[in-house]
């Protein structure tokens, strides 16, 4: 008997419940991937995600071939492909691991129903989270809106799935159906914008495990302080691997348990934010577009300003820490968490542009772009979210920069034209216009949104909202 194993954002062979289900049932797993970005609604994967996915699919195919199987790639529509393939392969079952993006959840529910109506066994599994989004609820049975009680409840009901090693060998179908070549999906950006990404990343399951090992042997011990320092390697950089399911979060937790450092709790709590983000997205599916807190529907954002938005995107705002972050993003497909907060705050508060403008840019350029985490991150900084930073708390990018990049190394790395300035000036170069002009004649002479005036205008808009409520 045969079964289709439909790979999606679970591009791995260990801890792979869909694959395990086929093997447990004694079925030959026919491993497939279906490309169908239109089925993701307004949130088809962005360019950086596509680039990553290209490499991750190639890695998965190589891992399967090593075991005697392979990945068969198709173009959608997903339902039609699954139905046709099930018939062509004489499959009796279709297995996959769940995704939680609202458009994908809806699609998958329809597909599951249709396959079952045709007499196929259609089963989905949890492969992405430590807890399903619907497993945690308040005493009243409502979704959580605040992280701390959510996490307390998770810790009190702690139960991790067991880890499963990747199978050593896999049976495969003989011959057809073959699918198309990965290259035909044209997932790589046309002009090679991603070329510099791969100095920083190894997409695929082996790369994910290597990143985990490096972290556990290195930065983990100092994680509590190191996680806020963009000038150091203080975090795990597992986010794209987790997003694409190249590693299961419970595998990460189990690796940490083996070393038992004092920082484990702090790290697992960050994974907890990822769980919380998925909990919120599942229960509040409008939030990638709409404010979590509807009071902000009346907020007076400034008029959309294409010129300043372009300066922000390209890292030319004149605020070094902001520019460094956006350039790190452009060159590596990733940005440090502390700097994500700083650039987002500058956009939402000083520039008073709508958080969706920033969220869209991140969506297109992050290799870890994740609808749940990105929505939570932007709405948290904007102050519009669940359990968000209050709007009136406006990050001062100069203070942030001096505190978390004290030697200006991060700034100098990503905004090299400022590297010749003394450290004290790297955080606020406009305070010595003469030196700035001499060292970096092409760098903006002052911030595109003035720090004091931008802050005042943001607070005034917030007061107006409060008074109007």
Site for ligand FAD, rule CB under 6 A: 227, 235-239, 242-243, 270-271, 273-274, 277, 337, 340-341, 344, 362, 366, 368-370, 373-374, 376-378, 381
Q: Would you call 270 a catalytic residue per the annotation?
A: yes
CA distance linking residue 12 with residue 212, whole number of Å: 15
CB 367, min distance to ligand FAD, A: 9
Task: Give Cα 248 distance to the centre of its chain.
Answer: 14
Cβ of residue 115: shortest distance to ligand FAD, in angstroms? 31
Write down how long the chain is. 469
Least distance between ligand FAD and beta carbon 77 (Å):
27
Question: Would you call the peptide bond into 77 cis, given omega within 30 degrees of 0 as the criterion?
Answer: yes
Pairing of strands 2-7, 121-125: unpaired
| Between 271 and 311, CB nearer to ligand FAD | 271
The 8-class DSSP code of residue 285 comes to: T
User: Which residue in 40, 83, 198, 337 is the catalytic one?
Assistant: 337
363 among known catalytic residues: no
Residue 98 or 340 with smaller CB distance to ligand FAD: 340
DSSP labels, 220-244: GGGHHHHTT-TTS--S---HHHHHT
Residue 361 is a catalytic residue: no
Instruction: Evaluate whether 76 touches 44 at the Cβ level (below 8 Å).
Output: no
Closer to ligand FAD by Cβ: residue 188 or 356: 356
**Is residue 355 among the annotated active site residues?**
yes
Which residue sits closest to ligand FAD, CB atoms considered?
377
Residue 118 CA neighbour count, 13 Å, CB half: 19
Q: Which is the catalytic residue, given 105, 270, 396, 417?
A: 270
Q: Is the peptide bond before 343 cis (omega within 30 degrees of 0)?
A: no
At closest approach, how far in Å is the CB of 61 from ligand FAD?
24
Q: Kindly tell me which of 188 and 227 has the beta carbon lying closer to ligand FAD.
A: 227
Tally of CB atoms within 10 A around 316:
19
Among residues 273, 330, 334, 363, which one is catalytic? Answer: 273
- Smaller CB separation from ligand FAD, 33 or 43: 43
Q: Please, what is the minimum distance in Å from the beta carbon of residue 379 to ligand FAD? A: 9
Q: Which long-range contacts (CB under 8 A, 24 or more apart) does 415-418 make?
A: 415/315, 415/320, 415/323, 415/324, 415/327, 415/443, 417/442, 417/443, 418/320, 418/443
Q: Would you name the residues annotated as active-site residues? A: 270, 273, 301, 337, 355, 378
């Amino acid at each position: 008997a045969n079964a289709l194993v439909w790979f999606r954002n679970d591009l791995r062979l260990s801890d792979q419940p869909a694959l395990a289900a086929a093997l447990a049932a004694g079925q030959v797993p026919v491993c497939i991937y279906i490309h169908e970005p239109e089925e993701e609604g307004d949130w088809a994967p962005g360019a950086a995600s596509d680039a990553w996915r290209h490499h991750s699919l190639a890695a998965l195919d190589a891992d399967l071939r090593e075991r005697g199987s392979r990945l068969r790639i198709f173009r959608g529509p997903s339902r039609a492909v699954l139905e046709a393939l099930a018939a062509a392969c004489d499959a009796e079952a279709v297995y996959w691991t769940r995704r939680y993006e609202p458009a994908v959840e809806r699609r998958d529910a329809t597909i599951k129903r249709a396959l079952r109506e045709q007499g196929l066994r259609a089963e989905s599994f949890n492969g992405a989270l430590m807890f399903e989004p619907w497993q945690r609820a308040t005493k009243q049975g409502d979704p959580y809106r605040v992280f701390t009680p959510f996490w307390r409840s998770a810790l009190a009901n702690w139960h991790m799935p067991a880890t499963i090693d990747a199978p050593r060998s896999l049976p495969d179908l003989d011959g057809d159906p073959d699918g198309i070549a990965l290259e035909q999906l044209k997932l790589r950006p046309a002009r090679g914008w991603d070329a510099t990404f791969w100095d920083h990343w190894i997409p695929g399951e082996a790369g994910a495990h290597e990143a985990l090992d490096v972290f556990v042997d290195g930065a983990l011990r100092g994680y509590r302080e190191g996680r806020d320092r963009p000038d150091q390697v203080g975090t795990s950089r597992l986010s794209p691997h987790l997003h694409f399911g190249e590693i299961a979060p419970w595998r990460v937790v189990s690796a940490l348990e083996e070393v038992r450092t004092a920082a484990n709790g702090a790290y697992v709590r960050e994974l907890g934010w990822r769980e919380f983000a998925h909990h919120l997205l599942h229960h509040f599916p409008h939030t990638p577009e709409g404010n979590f807190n509807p009071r902000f529907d009346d907020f007076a954002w400034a008029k959309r300003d294409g010129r300043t938005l372009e300066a922000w995107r390209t890292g030319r705002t004149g605020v070094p820490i902001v520019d460094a972050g956006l350039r790190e993003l452009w060159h590596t497909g990733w940005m440090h968490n502390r700097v994500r907060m700083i650039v987002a705050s500058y956009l939402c508060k000083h520039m008073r542009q709508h958080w969706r403008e920033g969220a869209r840019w991140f969506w297109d350029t992050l290799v870890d772009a994740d609808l749940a985490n990105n929505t939570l991150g932007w709405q948290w900084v904007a102050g519009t979210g669940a359990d968000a930073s209050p709007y009136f708390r406006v990050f001062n990018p100069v203070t942030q920069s001096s505190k978390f990049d004290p030697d200006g190394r991060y700034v100098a790395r990503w905004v090299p034209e400022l590297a010749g300035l003394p450290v004290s000036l790297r955080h606020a170069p406009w305070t010595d216009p003469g030196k700035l002009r001499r060292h970096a004649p092409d760098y903006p002479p002052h911030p595109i949104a003035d720090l004091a005036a931008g802050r005042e205008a943001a607070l005034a808009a917030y007061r107006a909202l409060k008074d109007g409520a």
